[in-house]
Amino acid sequence: MESPQKPPSAHDKLLRAAAALFYDNGITGTGIDAVVQRAGVAKKSLYNNFASKADLVSQYLEARHAEWLALNDARQEGAQTPQDQILAVFDAYRDHAEFAYEHGFRGCGLLNAAAELTADDPGRQVVRRHKEEVEALLLAPLSELLPGDPARAGRLARQLSFLLEGAMARAGLEGSSAQLLEARAMAADLLVTL
C-alpha cells in the first residue's frame, strides 16, 4: 500500500513561488509580499525558513542548479560515447529551455539572476560554480577523446561552454530552444574532427 503523499512544506511552497516569480519578474521586481502571497503561507513562515531575501535568492539559485543537474543526469544515462556525453549537456540545456514556463522562456534563470546581483553578492558565486561545473562536464569526455593533449581538451571545453552559453542567451531573447539545437549541431560537427 502506498503511503499518502506528504503535502509540501512552507519552505518548499515559498521556494517554488520565489522560483516562478524571480524567473518571470526578476529578483528586484519581486517583493517578499508577492512570494508569500503566491505561496499561500503566512509572512512569518518566510522568516522561519529563510534568514533574508538574499538567503531565499541563494536557495533559489541552488535549486535551479540542482534542477539542471537532474536534467543532465537523465540525458547522460543514454550517452554511450564521450561524444554522446558532450551532446547530452547541450540536450539538457534544451530541456531546460523547453520547460513549461508560465510566461515563456526568458533564457538562463541563473544568468538572469546574476545580472541583477551586485558583483560581491554570494548568489553570483552560485551561478559561477554552475557554469564552471558545466564546463567540467564538457571537459571530462573531451579529456577521454584527447588523452595526450589536456591543454587542447581544456580549450575545447571552454569553447563549447561559450557556444552553449551564447546559444542559451539567444534562445532566451528569441523565446525558443531552436538556437540550442543549432549549437548542438555545431558541437557535433566539431566533435567529428577529433
Residue 121 clears pLDDT 70, i.e. is over it: yes
74: confidence class by pLDDT, cuts 50, 70, 90: very high
Whether 2 shows a pLDDT value over 70: the answer reads: no
Tell the burial category of 6 from Cβ atoms under 10 Å away from its Cβ (0-12, 13-18, 19+).
Answer: exposed
Does residue 3 have a pLDDT over 80?
A: no
- pTM for this structure? 0.91
The C-alpha atoms of residue 162 and residue 168 are separated, in whole angstroms, by 10
Cβ contacts of 81 within 8 Å, gap of 6 or more: none
Q: What pLDDT score was predicted for residue 119?
A: 93
Domain with CATH 1.10.357.10 in the chain: 57-192
Give whole-number Cα distances, 106 to 77, 92, 101, in Å.
28, 16, 9
Instruction: Tell me the C-alpha distance between 22 and 109, whole Å.
Output: 8
Q: Quick one: pLDDT band at residue 1, thresholds 50, 70, 90?
A: low
- The confidence score (pLDDT) of residue 174 equals 93
Region 5-17 average pLDDT: 93
Mean pLDDT of 41-68: 95
In the chain, the percentage of residues whose pLDDT exceeds 70 is: 98
Superfamily of domain 8-50: Homeodomain-like (1.10.10.60)
Listed in order, the ranges of the chain carrying CATH 1.10.10.60 are 8-50
Check residue 151 and give its pLDDT: 98
Contact assessment for residue 50 and residue 14, using Cβ atoms and an 8 Å cutoff: yes
Q: What is the pLDDT of residues 15-45, one digit of tens each?
A: 999 999 999 999 999 999 999 999 999 999 9
Mean pLDDT of the chain: 95
Instruction: Give the CATH architecture of domain 57-192.
Output: Orthogonal Bundle (1.10)
Q: Please, which pLDDT band fits residue 50 given cuts at 50, 70 and 90? A: very high
**What's the pLDDT tens digit per position in 136-173?**
999 999 999 999 999 999 999 999 999 999 999 999 99
Q: What is the pLDDT, as a whole number, of residue 149?
A: 98
